[in-house]
Structure 1
């Protein structure tokens, strides 16, 4: 149990104690919460015409954050930030929060995750914003955990993609980690991904890889391949990570074997270069839970699943105000 009186100025200590891997920037969390509150309350300081009309500013209450269904929780790190910002907008004290779960925990239906005690106005005004963010993150973590459980013991790991909700990428990718998955890349800036259109524009796979190496030598280069021949061409061109797209299982297995056979040998497409000792291989396209272990059995390192972030249903959470 983590018991904390929510600070009025900074929630960074909470982020450190509750976060799954300290992977969320407190400044980013504050900015996202500010935007979400502007949506709900109007321009700062904004207003909640129902709560401020029916609840006295001096009233105090206690509310429980409760899981309405079983799953994996994530996004608890945003709860104190929402409460702090709402309190600041209303000119009231920030509620004290006691956490009985942390991000990454498996939870059951009816389980209390946290309790907040303080001005009732703050609790009610903050309710929807904190639930929207925590429910969304928990849904992603829950979905990811299903894949992680299915892949356990296979040696393969589930990856996310860039198919995220605009403005919430950091939270959703954080939730993937909380659910037992791994982030592939945060954006277009940290890993190069050579796809078919890039090959057309550059003239060949080798030309595209060489261009990235020359312009951005600090980044890893991944190449998309639809066939075994394309995969071999890509590693010979100097790629150190392959995206194997929409391959039937037998073709995928043959491609993995062909690439593994090229590891550590001279790269025919790059004079003087050697294929890496281990080329990372990622399967993607038409992946389902019922064939996850089968795909992992081909020897790939990763299965990337866009649905983790673009199609996960929320985990139903509620903020229940205790009767006085």
Structure 2
């Protein structure tokens, strides 16, 4: 099975510009007193990647520099989503020296964070390659950067779960307890939010059969051991359900155990670590031409 094409569509421009405005306001405050010491002349710079990575964050990097110098020229040497090796020069910049320096930290913060998210996502996607299992993100994102990080997940080859609490209904133990049963909770959710996707978490094979019979858009089998998980797949894909409702695994999943879970036949695995345990990629922006 071939991998689906990555969605490299960034968030709306207004969202990116708002992210950048907040970052620059945080960094610059009343003015960059250090950059003022530099002559305000035309200069060049280069963006260096200091480790292997998947490149992500170009729209934010560009917006940071253009906010301070609308005439800056950025010549990218790599594409968004491209894998690069340590020592790769990602871009050459030409603009006003003070603006290049003032935008440096904010632009790098976006680029290193989003490249980190894309890079770790790509490693999870690679681990399940050929199984048909999709890697999903979660809502465990850095405050204020949810759309940016979910974009980075897509760049890394992953798939976005719900964006927030408003675009998908997710039924868990408390909802089932309040409604009295899985079926009753599903009926209530469908009646109140018929236009929204519905995900149901189940805690047993009995609840799984009930959710499959009642109907929903995805079923979350959380904390099932391997034999129970494989039986859940057999039930969901057998008659009369015939695999119409995909199964998702979540919780306590790490890279080492990922392949085994995927090979059990589940459709999706959601990983909070993609956006929660962020390790920034080591990048630097240096004035002057690149070496060599």
Residue 257 (structure 1) aligns with = 234
> Does 285-294 or 295-304 show the bigger shift?
285-294
Q: Using the TM superposition, give the Cα deviation of residue 240 of structure 1 relative to its aligned residue in structure 2, in angstroms.
A: 2.5
Task: Tell me which moved more, 165-174 or 236-245.
Answer: 236-245
For residues 314 and 208 of structure 1, the distance between their equivalents in structure 2, rounded to whole angstroms, comes to: 41
* Structure 2, unaligned runs of 5 or more: 1-5
Instruction: Answer yes or no: is the 8 Å Cα contact 2:121–2:274 preserved in 1.
Output: yes
Q: Which of 280, 296, 304 does residue 270 from structure 2 map onto?
A: 304
Aligned mate of 2:34, from 46, 50, 55 = 50
> How big is the alpha-carbon RMSD for the aligned residues of Structure 1 and Structure 2?
1.7
Question: CA distance change for structure 1 residues 168 and 283 in 2, over 3 Å: closer, same or farther?
Answer: same
Q: Please point out which of 202, 226, 233 is paired with 1:225.
A: 202
**Higher RCO (Cα < 8 Å, 6 or more apart):** 2
In the TM superposition, 1:58-207 aligns within 5 A as 59-87=41-69, 94-207=71-184
Question: Residues 111-168 of structure 1, C-alpha deviation per residue, up to 9 Å, x if partnerless?
Answer: 0111110100010000000111111000000000111111110111111011111110
Quote the offset at 1:26 in angstroms.
0.7
Tell me the TM-score normalized by structure 1. 0.84
1-structure distance, mates of 2:33, 2:174: 52
Distance 1:224 1:173 in 2: 22
How far is 1:256 from its partner? 1.2
Mapped contact 1:235–1:259 kept (Cα < 8 A): yes
Partner SS for 1:61: strand
Q: How far has the Cα of 1:262 moved from its partner?
A: 5.0
- Sort the Cα spacing of 1:113 and 1:323 in 2 relative to 1 into closer, same or farther, 3 A: closer
CA distance in 1, matches of 2:153, 2:79: 15
Q: Secondary structure at the match of 1:303?
A: strand
Q: Which runs of 5+ in 1 are unaligned?
A: 1-18, 88-92, 265-275
Q: Taking structure 2 as the reference length, what is the TM-score of the superposition?
A: 0.93
Q: Distance in 2 between matches of 1:51 and 1:23?
A: 31
Map of 1:240 onto structure 2: 217
